[in-house]
Every structure is written in structure tokens, then in C-alpha cells.
Amino acid sequence: MLTRQDAYSRINVLTGTLQTIAERDPEQEVKGIAVPVMFAVLDAAKAALPNDPVVKATWDLFSPELLTEEEPLRAVDALLVAEQLREALYQPMAAESFVVGSSLFDPPGELDW
């Protein structure tokens, strides 16, 4: 199982890739081998935060079973989901990083892993 930091890193890369695709063509569809890879990254986010309400709601509405040939997945839709999962993963890490007295204490700013 991936750590939350690993899941964040992967969802961050996915978000960047989807952002690039959506900027070129918002109607671009996510197809082929990209679909199982994308859902593997999303699964990592789900496993890292199984009790997060955003992650739960996202997964209920956005899963491989819901994709069909008639209703393909647009990159811009996948981006919206990936961005929400990235934020959900980031928030707990950021809060843990700034606890005074913690071995993870780090001044506000970019997380340094």
C-alpha cells in the first residue's frame, strides 16, 4: 500500500497531466491504457484516506464501472476529480507538518518530503 505522501505525489502528477490535456482540448477523452492507470492513482488516494467524505463521495460518483462508450470520460472532468483528491490528500499532511513539537514540524510553506 502506498503512503499518503506517495498517493499525493502520484495524484499531483496526474493532475498536472490532465491540466495540460484540458488546456489543449477540454473535450479530450481519457481512453485506452490511460483509464486503468488513472483509476489506479485514484485508488491510491482512496486507500490513503478511506474515511474522507470527499474521497468517498468522489468514488461513489466516479468509478471505472460508470464509464461507457456512450458516455466517455472527458479530461476536464477527470481533472476536477483529481484536483479534489489532491487537496484532500494534502490537507492532513499540511496539518501534521505544522504541529509544534512534532518530528514533522516545518514552518509554513512548501512541504519538503
**Residue recorded with cell 486503468:** 36
Grid cell at residue 59: 468514488
- In-domain check, residue 79: yes
- In-domain check, residue 103: no
- In-domain check, residue 54: yes
Residue 39 domain boundaries = 4-97
- In-domain check, residue 110: no
- In-domain check, residue 109: no
Query: Could you list the pLDDT tens digit for every one of the 113 residues in the chain?
Result: 778 899 999 999 999 999 999 999 989 999 889 888 888 888 888 888 888 888 888 777 777 777 766 678 899 999 998 998 899 888 766 555 544 444 444 444 454 44
Calculate the alpha carbon distances from 93 to 1, 53, 89, 104, 106 in Å: 17, 16, 7, 10, 11
- In-domain check, residue 15: yes
Collect contacts of 80-86 with beta carbons under 8 A, ≥24 apart: 81/42, 82/11, 82/14, 82/15, 82/18, 82/41, 82/42, 83/15, 84/54, 84/58, 85/11, 85/42, 85/45, 85/54, 85/55, 85/58, 86/8, 86/11, 86/12, 86/15, 86/45
**Single-letter residue type at 49:** L
In residues, how long is the chain? 113
Tell me how many domains the chain contains. Answer: 1
- In-domain check, residue 106: no
